[in-house]
Amino acid sequence: MLMIGKNAETDEEVYINSDRARAMLISGKRGSGKSYTLGVLAEELLDGDQGIVIIIDPMGIFHTMILPNTDQEQALWDWGMRPKGLPIRLLVAGDAERLYGGRDITQAMESRGLEIAPIRLNPSDLTPDGWCDLFSLSLSDPMGMVLYRAIQELTRINWDLEKSFFNIAQIVTQINQDKRASDKTVEALLLRLETAMDWGIFTEEHQPILESFKQNTINVVDLSVIEAGRYGLRNLVLDVICRNLFLKRTIERRREELNLSTGFPRIWLAIDEAHQFAPSSGTTLAKENLIRWVKEGRQPGLSLIVASQQPAAIDSEILSQCDVIIAHKITALEDMQALNKLNQDYMKRELQSMIKQIKERGIAILVDDETESVTTINIRPRRSHHGGSESSSPHSEQFRI
Ligand SMILES: Nc1ncnc2c1ncn2[C@@H]1O[C@H](COP(=O)(O)OP(=O)(O)OP(=O)(O)O)[C@@H](O)[C@H]1O
Ligand SMILES: [Mg+2]
């Protein structure tokens, strides 16, 4: 059970059942408290030992959860709680020192208790289609065809190996051996692959991404250090994470059903600014697997929490799967309509008028399909420091990187 806050009318504690996999939407206009609430859920998940907790963090704000929320000490006391920093594992795709701007910076972060760990992708983690998408190549394009053939062939060659793995150098060799490819096509492709090597997110050795995620800590994947537009790299990282975790949990679930030992518990994947990864229009590298996660993930124990200021900008297949909605203040008509479309019978008309009545930050409407309830709640204060504010608290100063 996740204690999200208190009923604004009765002052009773309000819980969200987390015994089974859930899909949650946190919405609200800019600055209404979405990321803060996402942090509350992460705290509850960690406290309740609910499996592996992962936050996909495009803004680079969640690592501050390592610090106690001393700014709201009084509010916490009023709730019978105390400020408390949490164990945070900060996962960075690429070379952390280079991405954060120097060794002294990563050292300073580590001295505050943050565990910084690199995540590296194996070139074999991407499908032939994924590789083409990465460079925006289509299969009607000679370059797309040659690249597709090369990856397909490497995947086939490696099929028998227990851990099918290949590196970029092998892709280059494979392309060079393609007799059907023109020199110009090969040259152009090799240039692109060289660029991919420079990104620093692909490893030349086999490094299973699953080993990056640990229990009893909040795994924060900091995507803010990757340029948003650059070849859809943020989406690529999320896609590879989703695909591998999905596969692993499907196998683990089978083991659980057969009473075999398992070492990989259920997963809570929380995505801030989720419209960047599963937009309502257009495709991204991650979108297909996110839809699969939310549609087929319940049985293998995969939960999803998406936060966005524009529910209308999130893919409708994902929205329609959400069985918990936490709605902060919303003013845009379009976003109100997107929420209304999700209206279940039990909340007809209610939601819109309740959202209109929200006057302050920290108040939200909780719609829970399981209990078929619509409740106005006061979100509980965070125990750990929220990094999304522009406050001049000494802690946020300390953490400015
Ligand atoms: N429940 C709360 N109690 C106290 N302060 C809160 C609460 N929720 C949010 N805040 C404060 O409000 C500010 C904005 O919150 P937050 O960063 O969560 O907004 P957001 O909806 O994620 O905004 P954006 O759309 O810009 O990402 C922060 O300074 C945060 O500390
Ligand atoms: Mg936010």
Please give the DSSP secondary-structure letter assigned to residue 393: -
- The protein residue whose alpha carbon is closest to atom 3 in ligand 1 is 362
**Alpha carbon of 165 to those of 84, 126, 151, 155, 286: distances in Å?**
42, 11, 11, 8, 21
Are 203 and 119 contacting, i.e. CB atoms less than 8 angstroms apart?
no
3-class SS at 59? coil
What are the residue ranges of helices labelled H in 88-212?
A: 96-100, 103-111, 128-134, 142-157, 168-176, 183-198
Secondary structure (3-state) at 347: helix
Of 79, 386, 392, 396, best ligand 1 pocket probe by most atoms within 8 Å of the beta carbon: 386
Ligand 1 pocket at CB < 6 A: 28, 30-36, 309, 361-362, 379, 381, 386, 388-389
What are the contacts of 189-197 at 24+ separation with CB within 8 A? 189/143, 189/146, 189/147, 192/135, 192/143, 193/168, 196/134, 196/168, 197/168
- Residue matched to tokens 């802690």: 395
Q: What is the pLDDT of residue 377?
A: 96
* Amino acid 203: pLDDT: 86
The pLDDT value recorded for residue 87 is 97
Per-residue pLDDT tens for 47-60?
A: 998 899 999 999 99
Closest to 334 (Cα-Cα) out of 313, 318, 354? 313
Report residue 203 as tokens. 């490893």
Atom nearest to 363 CA in ligand 1: 1
Query: Which domains can be identified in the chain, with CATH numbers?
Result: 2-79+233-392 (3.40.50.300), 124-198 (no CATH)
Q: Could you say which ligand is closest to the alpha carbon of residue 30?
A: 1
Q: Of all atoms in ligand 1, which is nearest to the CA of residue 59?
A: 27
pLDDT reported for residue 400: 36
Task: Looking at the CA of 57, name the nearest ligand.
Answer: 2
Ligand 1 atom at minimal distance to the Cα of residue 380: 1
Q: DSSP letters of 64-90?
A: GGGSB-GGGHHHHHHTT-------EEE
Q: What is the distance between the alpha carbons of residues 22 and 20, in angstroms, rounded to a whole number? A: 6
Distance separating alpha carbons of residues 134 and 143, to the nearest angstrom = 13
| Ranges in the chain, pLDDT < 70 | 158-163, 343-349, 390-401
Distances (CA, A) of 337 to 99, 266, 323: 40, 33, 17
Distance 273 CA to ligand 2 centre (A): 7
The pTM of this model reads 0.91
Instruction: Measure the CA–CA gap between 66 and 64, rounded to whole angstroms.
Output: 5
Q: What does the alpha-carbon distance between residue 268 and residue 281 come to, in Å, rounded to a whole number? A: 25
Alpha carbon of 186 to ligand 1 centroid (Å) = 50
The Å distance, Cα 286 to ligand 2 centre, comes to: 20
Q: Note the ligand closest to the C-alpha atom of 386.
A: 1
What separation in Å is there between the alpha carbon of 25 and the centre of ligand 2? Answer: 13
Give the model's pLDDT for residue 160. 55
Quote the ligand 1 centre to 95 CA distance (angstroms). Answer: 30
Can you say how many angstroms the Cα of residue 387 is from the centroid of all Cα atoms in its chain? 17
32 alpha carbon to ligand 1 midpoint, in Å? 5
